[in-house]
A and B are shown apart, each in its own frame.
Chain A
């Protein structure tokens, strides 16, 4: 979690945007140095694999949000909406360091706001180190003990994301967030984020690519056994510039875990899924169609036929990657003596 004390934050102003370094960032690195924990020179750039987050099996698909069929999108209306409204987006970039003593995650959380003439970036850099060694975490405030660093790192990730967005998303905006609304351990945090954003009169829209979900094709009678996945169905069913009707999903056990979603095909390539929280949908029902047009417009603006992406999310991703380069992390850990030399790597055991 980010420190509550705003003064602890090192903010580097970048034009009108800013880069926030997590207060534990430097301390964690120093502690690694003090405990002579080494990080490998080889870094893995990872993406959180949202495709592995299917819907819980105990979920329930309820259709009937809209009339059956598909809907043509109007990118001109999307353009108009874009011109007249505040738009934001979020994405992240993560570098993973898997060492002998544990695993480090350097994460750049990146949010951008469509400014007057430019995108305004607000980035948060975090670094966490997880280990199963109680010895290493003893007397350490910053090195985290973890039996499952994959789970714990994601928890920290969604927590930091929530903090960054809630604090920085302007009121009355539409924000595109890369990743699903409901999925795995992140669901609760994401729903909390959604609720907090709604309180700011902002409209969170979750954008999912590369999903292997089959909620529609398994639950709609006439589609059963015909398609490999929902994406497969949507690709066959839609023409470029169309979306499916909205579906509603509700968790049987926890009716708060619910969402509205549809598939959208911008180009003659893989469709994407748009997910909206039920409460968001209710509150902004009249604007949802315009937001779908906006998503289509932003997909065209990005113009990537092979890997369709919302333009604003793509820009956020650019900033996320650029921020990782900006701080020259490799040099930093080398300075602290955390990187093993080649010989150490070769002959350490």
Chain B
């Protein structure tokens, strides 16, 4: 029990009673009951206090201290989160001195945070004095909080150093989205390294008793995602010996005539020349000119067309999205740059033994699709197909052709979009981030370094989750955190600002049920 002392600078001050033999960590919730209402506080500051302030002289003289002098109390400051039930007469209840407080129950926390019992369950946690812990109620049960499903559509940033838990967290959220969310959604993930996302069809494997206890508390077991497909560029292979199920892997290629012209700008990453931005217009005009060709048109045809521009002094006809025909003359250096990138990308296109995928392949309820772009040339392919699919998905949703909610996981987004991309350069990604809520399109950006996130996106990401990182990284995104706190986060623990539940600050992600092998 804790005893209310009074209010100090807008915070309720409490002191522990005799039975309390430890410090209640920051972030914990306390409930004070009076005759009419319960008042729930969140601990913002908690420290040890020695009421008898013993002199250090005994220790200096190598004498044992008086054990009574070693008494410690826990002094707490907390902010009022809410009352149960809320007053309706426009006043706020006093929290009276000498009132007794106890740890809040799950129901009380749910009530004051206005939580619905839907959404992936996370554990409320604390980082205090370098120690990470899951918060518990008076009975010792972990306190959980459900990640609001609306938050998926307000865009999410997950940051953390390698091994801090950010990929596992993405997997956990993705599996919920496809298998547990009401009406089931679809997930599109871009796998950029190793086999991170390629084994989500398999149940996770762990012997960690803490993880098993967490799963037990949630009533869950390890389970793979049932409808899971890995797409990979036809010009690459899935390396053998990595335990990826070949039966669920499908080769894909790009169809030059169906490719959205804007997607081609994905090939121009690193080319800062603004003249290079004319490539989609040149491509659109070329596509239009060849729309009715009698023979099979390939990307190689476009590369040859572009190369012939040398004969026209690098002057091309372009067509913008309004179908206006214009002319553009590229500087010689830009021409060379673009040509080099086009030649590099020829192998991404028109492979006869590979599938061509579009939004319809992705927007399937309960399906998780992973595009594997790990390996050489993967990023360029990823940059093009991601743009193409995003455009297609937005179009499909805009036209009302699909009502399937979709979650897009983009790991290391800077590999696909320049960090300094403007709103315009982000194209459909920007549109998604701004209209995701109405279209039920969510994006999770995952990165080791939050400064890699394109500057144009920073303002539209409403949920920020930081696993172990540099404190400067978190502060960059307005997360109030000390260096000690963020550097001492253990695997799976994160400090966050989640859309819809701003009071929740520290949390522990359960281990994903699929695709994690400890």
Chain A interface (Cβ within 8 Å of chain B)?
15-16, 75-76, 79, 82-83, 114-119, 297, 300-304, 311, 315, 318
Contact = CB atoms under 8 A, between A and B. Distances in A.
Contacts of B69: 301, 311
6 contacts: A76-B63, A118-B18, A301-B57, A301-B65, A301-B66, A311-B66
Contacts of A82: 66
Interface string B48-60: 0000101111100
A269 to B, nearest CB: 13
Closest 10 CB pairs of A and B: A303-B55, A303-B57, A15-B18, A118-B71, A119-B68, A118-B68, A300-B57, A301-B66, A79-B63, A114-B68
Contacts of A318: 52
A15 B55 CA distance: 25
A303 B55 CA distance: 5
Contacts of A117: 67-68, 70-71
Q: Is the interface of A mostly helix, strand, loop or mixed?
A: helix
A303 B57 CA distance: 6
Contacts of B52: 119, 315, 318
B61 interface: yes
Q: Please classify how large the interface on chain B is, using the bins under 10, 10 to 19, 20 to 34, 35 or more.
A: 10 to 19
A118 to B, nearest CB: 5
Interface of B: 17-18, 52, 54-58, 61, 63-71
Contacts of A16: 18
Nearest to B19: A15
Contacts, number: 49
Contact of A300 (B17, B63, B67, B70): B63
Contacts of A297: 63
A114 B66 contact: yes
Given A297-B63, A304-B55, 8 more contacts: A16-B18, A114-B68, A117-B67, A117-B70, A118-B18, A301-B55, A303-B54, A303-B55
A19 to B, nearest CB: 12
A297 B143 CA distance: 48
A73 B497 CA distance: 62
Contacts of A114: 66, 68
Nearest to A82: B66
Contacts of A315: 52, 68
Contact of B54 (A15, A83, A301): A301
Contacts of A311: 66, 69
B57 A115 contact: no
Contacts of A15: 17-18
A302 B68 contact: no
A32 to B, nearest CB: 25
Nearest to B51: A318
Contacts of B65: 301
A188 B17 CA distance: 41
Nearest to A16: B18
A15 B64 CA distance: 26
Contacts of B54: 301, 303
B64 A79 contact: yes
A330 to B, nearest CB: 15
A142 B461 CA distance: 72
A16 B57 CA distance: 29
A82 to B, nearest CB: 7
A227 B105 CA distance: 70
A300 B18 contact: no
A304 B52 CA distance: 13
Nearest to A80: B64
Q: Which among A114, A115, A302 has the greatest number of chain B C-beta atoms within 10 A?
A: A302
A117 B69 CA distance: 8
Contacts of B58: 300-301, 303
A76 B66 CA distance: 12
